Structure 1
Amino acid sequence: MYHNRDLAVTGIAFSEQHPELVAVSYDYNKDIPSEPPGVVLIWNTKFKKDSPEYVFHCQSRLASVAMARFHAHLIMAGCYSGQICMWDNRVANKKTPIHKSPLSTSAHTHPVYALEVIGTHNAHNLVSISTDGKMCSWNVDNLTQPVDGKELLSRQGKQASACQTRIPCLCMSFPVADMNNFVVGSEDGHAYALSRHGTGQPNTQEHTFFDGHSAPVCGIAFHRATGPVDLSHLFLTSSSDWTVKLWSTKAGDPKLRFSFESHNDYVFDVAWSPVHPAVFTSIDAEGNLFLWNLNEDIEGPVARMNIAQEGFLKKIAWAENGQHLCVGDDQGNLQLFDVHESMYVLRSEEWTRFARVLADMKQANEEADEMSEVMSRLSDGIGLSGGSTVASLAGVNVSPRQNWRPNFVAHLHLRRVISITTIVSRNNTHLFIDIIYATTY
């Protein structure tokens, strides 16, 4: 565990050039007003030192962080002020960003909740989104003004004349190896599929939206693993409505959707494994970390663990090799997990198994939709009382909630290492090993 004096974690990003390094952005501590409101720490997960490798400060609260994929020394963060800050770990003065975007109506004016560097080594941009309903693309070498910006618009109603409003974006994800298309989650409970270079009006962007959540979408993640089956069209959303949902952006495939309903509180973040096609993780406000393997079970996690003694979990990120998992909470704790090798050493049939699971999900949705339509027609035709209720229940049965017995948790208490926790799934497979170190900053 890496601890930073009760500052809430707002973002986690691993370095591609130095996989052992992870950047973490923190919110301000209102109990220490004399300190800078924004801080980014770089932790070394290889040596598990009790102090960060680098400390960067900012005079604005921070809402997100990103490591520059093609610049090993650059770190960027999104601010609550709407600005973007950049630091260079080679510069001696780390208390001041080397670059900062201006406060301007041509950029963001609300908190920047998501940043992502996309593209190739020779052609790449930093993309940012905000609750102001804008998407901005930036040249990493120049934050003076965005090289491109669009308003992300939501149409209220199906008519062409319907009112359009800006999408208040909370999270964002790009598919692997795609510079143009992306999805965002919003405060209105919808997910939207958008593109940076669409065919709509200049400086605006219309969308395809996914309606299913009844509360803000807090986390969103495209499928990341690459293999013999193309699954890059899949994405997950997590929400304050206590659910995680699976969607597809694939044209003509609207029936692929599923709801995972094992959480009992706000689900703040979700993340696909970068190597296993059927594995993802989710975290919630009760302090629970859930590990899902859809090849084994689609109705509940294969392992779960409560890791926040106080407060709630905020952010989650996988290491690129799929062997480690970082989780940050609202108390400033960053916990590093070693994942069992069954989660990253794949058997050859995992991809085909997951393809069959997805096909079964789609078929179940189609059958539920048909049942709902039949019950609705029965109700309309003969005046059956409660027909709509029966129809809605037919849809609910697609993803039943189920009470799962807690997984076994064994604790060993040592002198320097505070605890070692092993998480065992229902089939007694060891899935997590969490080593918690006594660290301070």
Structure 2
Amino acid sequence: MDKRKEELARKRQKLAELRRLKEERNKVAPEKDPALAAEAPRSRTEDVRDLVNLLLNDKKDEKRPSTPGPTDLVGDSDGGGSDKEPRRLPLNLESNGTETSGSPTISLPQSPQVSASGSRFIPDFSSFEAVILDIAPKEVVFYDKEAQTKETSTNPPAPSEDEIRERVEKELAQREKQRLAQIEEQKAKAEAERRKAAKARDLNEEQRKKILASVDFVEFVDHSTRLVGRVLSDDYDFMKDYSITQVDDTDEDSGNRVKYLYSFFDERWAKSRATRSVTDVNWSHKFPELCVASYNKNPVTSSEPDGLVLVWNMHLLARPEYVFHAQSDVLTTTFSPFHPNYIIGGCYSGQIVIWDNRTKSQPVLKTPLSANGHTHPIYSMQMVGSQNAHNLITASTDGLVCAWQLDMLTQPQESLELVHPGHSKTDEVSVTALGFPDAETTAFWVGTEEGNVYQANRFDRAGSKAGINQYDYYKGHWGPVTGLEFHPLVGKVNFSDLFLTSSVDWTVKLWRAKSASRPSSQVQTITPLYSFEGADDYVYDVKWSPNHPALFASVDGTGRFSLWNLNMDTEVPVVGLNVGSGKALNKIQWDKEGRKVAIGSSDAKVHVYDIGELGQAHPDESKNLQKVIADMAAVSEIESARNVAVGK
């Protein structure tokens, strides 16, 4: 509405301006005749101005077609109407002001005539708002009528869906065939080029020797042959049919028999009859299929190392898994129970050496040849302690006992010289065997060359000093002690005070250890509980079963392996076997489960036997063993009293 009012106001101003101009022209015109004065010709300048104003007003009116123009208002103000014709104004004007004939003209409205009364009609404009209604058109429904006719075109019919599918499948198959043919062609070309490039070239003798001597080639061949050997040594019957029931009469008594499994032997290290001997055997605590054996030097050849340690694998029989060397005969060896990669050895020269299976054949650590450590042969050693605090205890034939930390072998952590004033020849005690009871780290027992067994302490303790207990004699053997082992903690009853010893006097003896916390104040001779005398030669080693409380095994110089069960018989072994070719058997060791034994012989062979059901303990084995030990103790006391009476 405001815009509309503004437009009306502008138009009124224009009309007022036109009236003023007209009145001025009327005043200037001659006043003789009002009629003539009204029709007097106007000047060309005024006509041009009126034309311009008219054109400008027309352009504005085109933008607002609903608004009446000023000329319409002027023309209607006279009220006369039809007798007033608009004047024609020429478009082409000459310089002298004359009108050019034939030129197109434009009509202009004449000036409005003023009424006699002098008043002018002014139209009354009003505004309104249009209401637009959107009415939906009426829905008109159309119907088409058609007739279905048969197509009579002469063109071939369009292919069906099955035909299109078949055509597409043929095209795809053809493309796939072409693609495969291209691939095969490319493969054939590549294979031909590879064969051409890989054509074997002849090597001269110098090049062959260089390749064979290279470290990478040797390691590759060693590793590859080791893997192939494991596969070939596996005796698993992959053709066995489990759906066929087979009756094997030989398995009826398999639970009561000892079964031979295999022997570890390498001809490279045993080329003649005067060969190396196995000095010790041991099983791995981490890998149950690994067994380590130590050997003395070969007296025939000097080109080989004196000391040798071989690690054997039950899945690789033809050759050792690892080979380690030493500068002196290795008399004892063991896997470290706290370091799965370490193999520890004690040498004839008194050195302690440590090998690592992640490195080469030479020791990674060894003790110096000096007076700080051992200078005599080391026949026995044992790891004591726990994972976080453990020591290696070694003993040599000069009576020196040392404790070592495996990561520092420059000098022993502690040294203890075992001396006895009552010794027949020298004060030093020549140690040939050493043993700690289970869960004991300070008190230990040693077997000596003269056949006696002594108890010793690593440290001073209440009632006793460090060193040998001089008042307690374990006397029973008449020759050097070759083996000593305490009863393991097996079953519900603790038999850790029992220990076995073997000797060159052809016997194995069972002892009960006196408490180390209550030493004697005067000389006391302790006799064995029982003596097993079934051997016909030197008894070189004896070991308790780790699973059966009443079972132990021994080996002797005749090549005989004896298995004893105290709950079944104490006079004769339950099993006695001749092992190998009859050579002397030096060492024996049970595996962790107590089902296998490894036996080292003097012909450089390690024999493995399966104990079977004999190695499995029944629930009442511990109680039965208690009764047997009580009977042995009673008989031993009676014999001791009889001997004392006879001596008196």
Structures share fold, TM-score greater than 0.5: yes
Counterpart in the other structure of 1:17: 286
Q: Residue 35 of structure 1 aligns to which amino acid in structure 2?
A: E
Q: What residue is the counterpart of 1:59 in the other structure?
A: 327
Q: Which of 369, 385, 405 matches 2:640?
A: 369
**Larger Rg over CA atoms:** 2
Counterpart CA distance in 2 for 1:142 and 1:223 is 31
Name which of 130, 133, 137 aligns with 2:403.
Answer: 137
Alignment match, 1:30: 299
Amino acid at match of 2:298: N
Cα drift, residue 225 of structure 1: 4.0
Comparing 335-344 with 34-43, which one deviates more in the overlay?
A: 335-344
Alignment of structure 1 residues 255-334 onto 2, 5 Å: 257-334=529-606
- CA-to-partner distance for each residue in 1:175-227, whole Å, 9 max, x for gaps? 11211222111111111122222349987444533111111001111111422
**Alignment identity in percent?**
39
Q: Distance in 1 between matches of 2:644 and 2:377?
A: 43
1:192 is matched with which residue? 454
Change (3 A) 1:311 1:227: same
Equivalenced residue count is: 369
How many angstroms apart in 2 are the aligned matches of 1:290 and 1:86? 33
Alpha-carbon distance in 1 for matches of 2:425, 2:504: 26
Tell me how large the CA RMSD over aligned residues is. Answer: 2.1
In structure 1, give the amino acid aligned to 2:618. R
Aligned partner of 2:394 among 92, 107, 128:
128
Write the deviation string for residues 70-108 of structure 1: whole angstroms up to 9, x where unpaired: 0010111001110111111111x22x2111101122211
Offset of 1:167 from its aligned partner? 1.1
Deviates more, 1:202-211 or 1:282-291: 202-211
Mapped to 2, the partners of 1:65 and 1:115 lie a distance apart of: 8
Alpha carbons 1:37, 1:58 under 8 Å: kept: yes
Distance 1:170 1:254, change over 3 A: closer
Measured in 2, the distance between the counterparts of 1:374 and 1:222 equals 32
Normalised by the length of structure 1, the TM-score is 0.80
Q: Could you tell me how far 1:306 is from its partner in structure 2?
A: 1.1
| Cα distance in 2 for residues equivalent to 1:318 and 1:286 | 20
Instruction: Write the letter of the residue equivalent to 2:407.
Output: D
Aligned to 1:399: none
Separation of aligned partners in 1, 2:427 and 2:549: 36
Segments of 5+ residues of structure 2 without an aligned counterpart are 1-262, 519-524
Aligned pair in 2 of structure 1 residues 348, 209: CA closer, same or farther (>3 Å)? same
Maintained 8 Å contact 2:544/2:553? yes
- Matching of residues 16-415 of structure 1 within 5 Å: 16-45=285-314, 47-91=315-359, 93-94=360-361, 96-156=362-422, 165-199=427-461, 204-207=467-470, 208-251=472-515, 254=526, 257-344=529-616, 346-375=617-646
What CA distance in whole angstroms lies between the structure 2 residues aligned with 1:197 and 1:243?
A: 33
One-letter amino acid matched to 2:324? F
Residue 420 of structure 2: SS of its match in structure 1?
A: strand
For the 8 Å contact 2:597–2:610, the answer to whether it is kept is yes
Post-superposition shift, 1:142? Answer: 1.1
Tell me, in whole angstroms, the C-alpha distance in 2 between the residues paired with 1:352 and 1:175: 21
Q: Distance in 2 between matches of 1:58 and 1:163?
A: 33
Task: Give the helix-richer structure, 1 or 2.
Answer: 2
- Paired residue type of 1:105: A
For 1:140, what is the secondary structure of its paired residue? coil
**Cα displacement string for residues 57-78 of structure 1 (whole angstroms, at most 9, x for unaligned residues):** 1111111112111001011100
Q: 1:375/1:36 Cα in 2 relative to 1: closer, same or farther (>3 Å)?
A: closer
Aligned partners of 2:546, 2:276: CA distance in 1, in Å?
A: 28
Contact 1:198–1:205 (CA under 8 A) maintained in structure 2: no
Contact 1:269 1:315 in 2 (8 A): yes
Q: Deviations over 1:298-347 (max 9, x none)?
A: 11111101114143110110001101100001110100011122322x21
- Tell me the distance in 1 between the aligned counterparts of 2:627 and 2:582: 40
Per-residue deviation, 1:152:
1.1
- Label 1:202 to 1:358 Cα distance change in 2 as closer, same or farther (>3 A): closer
TM-score of the superposition, structure 2-length normalised? 0.55
Supply the AA of the counterpart residue of 1:339.
I
In the alignment, the residues of structure 2 paired with residue 9 and residue 375 of structure 1 have an alpha-carbon distance, to the nearest angstrom, of: 45
- The unaligned stretches of length 5 or more in structure 1 are 378-441
Helix, strand or coil at the partner of 2:301 = coil
